[in-house]
Amino acid sequence: MHMADGLLSPEVGVAMWAVTAGATAYGIKKITDSDLSEKKLPVMAVSGAFVFAAQMINFTIPGTGSSGHIGGGILLAMLLGEFPALLTIASVLVIQCLIFADGGLLALGANIFNMGVIPCLIVFPIIRMFLKNNISKTKLSVSAFLGPVVALQIGAFGVVMETLLSGITEFPFKIFVALMLPIHLAIGVGEGIVTAAVVLFVWKMRPEIINSALFKQKIDKKVSVKKVTVIIGIVAVITGGVLSLYASSNPDGLEWPMEKTAGTSELKNSDKTHSVMSQIQEKLSILPDYDFKSQKKGNGTSASGIIGAGITFCLALGAGGIITYVKKKKNK
């Protein structure tokens, strides 16, 4: 659901920037000591790196000619809690937009809203209410599986509404929504399986991490999260550096409905706002489309996966550390 700028009018793009900025500011304000304790910061950083890498793996949707990748919002929320998760997925999407030109700069606010605000601030609180203070393997599995399915349905509908409000006539509402929702239902099932597997793995190794995210419990200083973070970090490197080479080349869950509806997955606007945004993004992106600018296509995929995961790790860790420092200083 990485929307390009061509799918949004300047008015809708700016409005979504404002809504997302407000939601992110609210999330930062609501972050507590238990959300970003010294035990949670490394989990936050390595989880962000994993989600970045995992989003590079497009898996084929059988019988459609389409593909999809995880969004990661629910996974992050179940590991970190909703507010640190929003900050982390926003970091992932900012890096993808600015460094890899994945998703438009004007559309960045909409993309963070669809893939961050919706799963973290709308769907995850429902999961918390369902689990309450009684976690079982079955309930946790069901929540981790269904969460992404629901989040992707709402997010896909959000994309349709944002294009509708932007007056993009190439995508008639009834046709576009009839294609977007079913394909994202299939993608949601795939993401649900991945999310459930990761959450159950972490719960088995360090249930304190999941309990902290769900019930805002501070992880005891005596509890070690080193083994979990190292394993997730290794998986992130392998995913971004190796498995990304085998990602499906089929149109993704947004490109496929666009091609079916308008015959193209690329819409370009020539107005001044879109032109300026495009120029800024072109200058900033050093690895556009996850590849080197001057070399043969495909040579930069592994490097992009590792570099992107590394930058995400640093940005999430740095942002979390700064927020923690500022909040502690304010409370003194």
Percent of the chain with pLDDT over 70: 98
Confidence of residue 22 (pLDDT cuts 50, 70, 90): very high
- 39-70: per-residue pLDDT in tens? 899 999 999 999 999 999 999 999 999 999 99
Confidence of residue 296 (pLDDT cuts 50, 70, 90): low
Write the burial class of residue 181 (CB in 10 Å: 0-12 exposed, 13-18 middle, 19+ buried): middle
pLDDT for res 16: 98
More confident residue, 31 or 20: 20
**pLDDT above 80 for 6:** yes
- 131-140: per-residue pLDDT in tens? 987 789 999 9
**pLDDT above 70 for 319:** yes
Q: Are 201 and 50 in contact (CB under 8 A)?
A: no
Q: Are 74 and 124 in contact (CB under 8 A)?
A: yes
Domains of the chain in sequence order: 5-326 (1.10.1760.20)
Confidence of residue 295 (pLDDT cuts 50, 70, 90): low
Confidence of residue 264 (pLDDT cuts 50, 70, 90): confident
With the CA atoms of 141, 142, 146 and 148 taken in that order, what torsion angle do they form, in degrees rounded to the nearest 10? -20
Confidence of residue 25 (pLDDT cuts 50, 70, 90): very high
The β-bridge partners of 60 are 67
Contacts of 44 (CB under 8 A, 6+ apart): 36, 80, 84, 87, 88, 316, 317, 320
**pLDDT above 70 for 311:** yes
pLDDT for res 37: 83
pLDDT for res 324: 87
Contacts of 61 (CB under 8 A, 6+ apart): 67, 68, 183, 186, 187, 190, 250, 253
For residue 61, give the 3-state DSSP assignment: strand
pLDDT for res 198: 98
The owner of tokens 């990602």 is 247
Write the burial class of residue 9 (CB in 10 Å: 0-12 exposed, 13-18 middle, 19+ buried): buried
Confidence of residue 297 (pLDDT cuts 50, 70, 90): low
In degrees and rounded to multiples of 5, residue 327 shows phi and psi of -65, -40
Contacts of 40 (CB under 8 A, 6+ apart): 34, 80, 84, 209, 212, 219, 320
- Alpha-carbon span 229 to 226, nearest angstrom: 5
Query: Residues 33, 35, 38, 41: is their CA dihedral positive or negative?
Result: negative
Percent of the chain with pLDDT over 90: 84
The owner of tokens 């079916």 is 260
Lowest mean pLDDT among 162-171, 180-189, 239-248, 259-268: 259-268
Average confidence score pLDDT of the chain: 94
Confidence of residue 293 (pLDDT cuts 50, 70, 90): confident
pLDDT for res 298: 58
DSSP 268: -
- Output the six-digit token pair for 43: 């989990």
